[in-house]
Chain A
């Protein structure tokens, strides 16, 4: 399989209508044709271009994993379950305000605040959850705005459209926070830079989140609206196995929904995703199983390492060694996701050599299947 130049017509047929769209937003925000609205990407008019940036950066069109890895790390795609990791540790914020708003350890919010304060970045592309619990992309420029985005939403959000909307002559240094498919799209952009929007080299920091799957924004939101008074909801959480629950924290107490009922609203495309830990980010952040109030942090690049160092030096973050059991468990989960995804892909394509969008050597694939 090779990369082929295609445009918005193929985005619709090959990705969206084929049920592969992750609503990452890489194709929206920069042109008048593809527009996100209430949980779907709409095509407002026909674009005649046969070589569109929408198709190029979509994380579900052909991606050469070795080339992507070379772009970020200078080496081919790693066989490591959690990708290339200089260090894996535990961390939490020292800031009480952030701790109140945080999902777990508040690491993402803390790192972004520090990056803004230090001038590593001027603006950051983030997901914000509104009062009605819908998620939308925002471009935050201050610590206050970043804090407003704290907390996990679990629904897909086209975050990258906020980057795409930044005008081409804007020189602001940018940070992006995204889930694995979004980080993959950004990496595709780094490899083959886009035109007519802010330069990709302005992106100085990419923080990736751990992700098993995302929920459909319109279907899941409708489900929530029917079940709950969303104005009373403060936070959502999916505790680690074997809990099997979807927890909702409201102003009048805690409600738990069976996770199996929630799984119905998983985006179909997540079944074909190999990446649990955002392998191409500068820093990847997730929860710590069994330890409340802390984050698992994977440092991958020099940018990531220096930011963490600064955070520790300025006492913005408290760190600790990640218990070996947690690390083992994390790797098992990550590997399981890769294997499952591969299986689903091959089942869908009906051909071991057709991996739909993933560019991996047959040897690599075989190794994964063992």
Chain B
């Protein structure tokens, strides 16, 4: 990650969108930042935490987004500028708090909520557009169109938030958050920050300061007044602008990452003098006057945005309210089917829409070349499915789970959750995971299944959850299981990291976001104190792990916990050398013959195990092998050998 604390105003740096947001917060004089890791938002807190000590700010990985948001609000109540960052699912988790926070108002410290959506769910369970929450709960919303705006908007929002007295939301997407671009730096502030919870709001009042949503209807009315003030600020904002001719064949209305795609599309089609682009940066409340002033530029309007028709609907709604004499262009977008209402966009999709509407044909490259290249790629390029890394403890855990369930013979199954181990729904995890929804969802679903004995249900249920997910959302589900006596086994995959999002620390790791050692919240002590039976296994000891699971399944009787403890290979591999040198004894390997049928390369699927078709034997890929040695225990012929390195 880049150093966001460079004191070099006026210079251009290559920053990730997330780094730009973090830099904007620094330039605004933030004091407090909290978040839970979530792709594509994690680097916001990550980069703030890496400079926290030298800048005198506080940055934490909270146990979940709800606590992060609440903690940031707490800082705001005490007059400290605060930021909370999360991915789209985090918005769902904080929605209850937000619904009350917009009514209660914030304190003297500006409060900014950053939501990073993941269109196409590249690294998510679901895809979801979080902008509608701004309309739903009345939160002013902005969306940066590039990396410079990511920084500048974030800085601006803190001033606005304090002036108007409510939290502001900035929405980003993967292609801004994780892409990198030029950011010209501003000044870093040097003022002191002091935290104090004002006992009295103002000297005329007899009531002490409170932050509560009551009485709600009155607060709601005040909230609308705040939104009107925000609208006025938005009308004058430089983040809204028009680029293009005075009279255009087509007017594109866009925001966010689609601003860059639209420009790319127009340039590629060489239509700069025919197609205008109205870019909005402040989305809600809608800067109506600004929009109205540009609507007449064309008879045709194309909305380009991700993922939902948020701007499209807001503007169509607004236009419907205008007198009949106002210009009524033809609207194209998601409603008309010219732009997908699902998945992420890119310049080619915008090119396609423009060409469609204007009746153009576009050929990016020579047709003959295109056919040749596409045919070659189709026939020569095999799939590359996701897998667990070589040496990943999850591969061993799911191998033991698969075997235990088969040996048990009652058609048991696994309910899953969010993390690297979600990959176990596929071949890499032997298709073990059967349900997956949100953080903590697996144990919740297992609770229900574990109570169906009275309806003849006797299939063992294993709920797998990662260590970070355990602290995040699973503890209430475990308590429920113990209290309501639900029969399931909670399998905690403790690889000592929040791995999928970038190895952030969590309450079990003994380290804070700012790199300070801290108390370890022991998961086995916690589970035992709740009254669960707890067993701890090393997943690399396949035999012991399988036997432990079999015994637990045979036991029955209420929630039990099996902790699979072994460090994530990507974390271990950075600090230590490979423990073993692993090789295949080609004399002993029987490959495809009866008695093996390529178990290691066909079923176990570690990417370091390769099938040498010519020799008819398995082989270790030395570049990928991490020397964990687990495969030596699965080979039926004992043909895989490990030597201590």
Contacts and interface: CB of A to CB of B under 8 A. Distances in A.
A32 B409 contact: no
A238 B463 CA distance: 47
Given A37-B407, A42-B407, A53 B595 contact: yes
A340 B638 CA distance: 46
B596 A44 contact: no
Contacts of A35: 406-407
A40 B596 contact: no
Given A31-B636, A45-B599, A196 B594 contact: yes
A30 B595 contact: yes
Interface string A240-280: 00000000000000000000000000000000000000000
Contacts of B407: 35, 37-38, 42, 44
A96 interface: no
A313 B409 CA distance: 52
A31 B594 CA distance: 7
A197 B406 contact: no
Interface in A28-87: 30-33, 35, 37-38, 40, 42-49, 51-54
Contacts of B603: 45-46
A194 to B, nearest CB: 8
Interface in B610-645: 634, 636-638
B406 A44 contact: yes
Nearest to A31: B595
A196 B597 contact: no
B131 interface: no
A243 B56 CA distance: 92
Nearest to A30: B595
B409 A42 contact: yes
A44 B594 CA distance: 15
B449 interface: no
Nearest to B590: A196
Nearest to A33: B597
Nearest to A56: B594
Interface in A195-232: 195-197
Contact of B596 (A32, A37, A42, A54): A32
B403 A44 contact: yes
Nearest to A197: B595
A31 B403 CA distance: 14
A44 B402 contact: yes
Contacts of B377: none
B206 interface: no
Contacts of B402: 44-45
B593 interface: yes
A49 B406 contact: no
Given A31-B595, A48-B597, A51-B594, A42 B406 contact: yes
B593 A195 contact: yes
Given A51-B594, A196-B590, A43 B634 contact: no
A196 B409 contact: no
Contacts of B595: 30-31, 53, 195-197
Contacts of A47: 597
Contact of A196 (B403, B593, B634): B593
A197 B595 CA distance: 9
Contacts of A53: 594-595
Nearest to B596: A31
A43 B406 contact: yes
Contacts of B594: 31, 49, 51-54, 195-196
Interface residues of A, number: 24
B616 to A, nearest CB: 13
Contacts of B430: 45
Interface in B398-413: 402-403, 406-407, 409
Contact of A32 (B592, B593, B634): B634
A51 B403 CA distance: 24
Interface in B377-409: 402-403, 406-407, 409
Contacts, number: 53
A354 to B, nearest CB: 28
Interface in A107-123: none
Given A45-B603, A52-B594, A196 B406 contact: no
Contacts of B590: 196
Contacts of B593: 195-196
Interface string B574-606: 000000000000000010111111010011000
Nearest to A51: B594
B634 to A, nearest CB: 7
Residue in A30, A32, A42, A52 with the greatest tally of chain B CB atoms within 10 Å: A32
A160 to B, nearest CB: 14
A54 B597 CA distance: 13
Contacts of B596: 31-32, 196
A43 B595 CA distance: 13
Contacts of A51: 594
Interface in B58-104: none
Residue in B430, B594, B602 with the greatest tally of chain A CB atoms within 10 Å: B594
Contacts of A43: 406
Given A44-B403, A196-B590, A196-B637, A49 B597 contact: yes
Contacts of A46: 603
A32 B406 contact: no
A44 B432 CA distance: 12
Contacts of A195: 593-595
A51 B595 CA distance: 11
Contacts of A197: 595
Interface string B403-433: 1001101000000000000000000001000
A54 B637 CA distance: 17
Nearest to B402: A44
Contacts of A32: 596, 599, 634, 636
A323 B400 CA distance: 57
Contacts of B636: 30-32
A167 B588 CA distance: 10
Contacts of B406: 35, 42-44
B73 to A, nearest CB: 51
B299 to A, nearest CB: 61
Residue in A42, A43, A45 with the greatest tally of chain B CB atoms within 10 Å: A45
Contacts of B634: 32
A48 B403 CA distance: 18
Contact of B409 (A30, A40, A45): A40
A32 B604 CA distance: 11
A38 B430 CA distance: 23
A45 B599 CA distance: 9
A169 to B, nearest CB: 9
A52 B592 CA distance: 11
12 contacts: A31-B596, A32-B596, A35-B407, A37-B407, A42-B409, A43-B406, A44-B406, A45-B599, A49-B594, A49-B597, A52-B594, A196-B595
Interface of A: 30-33, 35, 37-38, 40, 42-49, 51-54, 167, 195-197
Closest 8 CB pairs of A and B: A37-B407, A196-B595, A32-B636, A47-B597, A42-B406, A31-B595, A53-B594, A44-B406
Given A32-B599, A45-B430, 19 more contacts: A30-B595, A31-B596, A37-B407, A37-B409, A38-B407, A40-B409, A42-B406, A42-B409, A43-B406, A44-B402, A44-B406, A46-B603, A48-B597, A48-B602, A49-B594, A53-B594, A53-B595, A195-B595, A196-B590
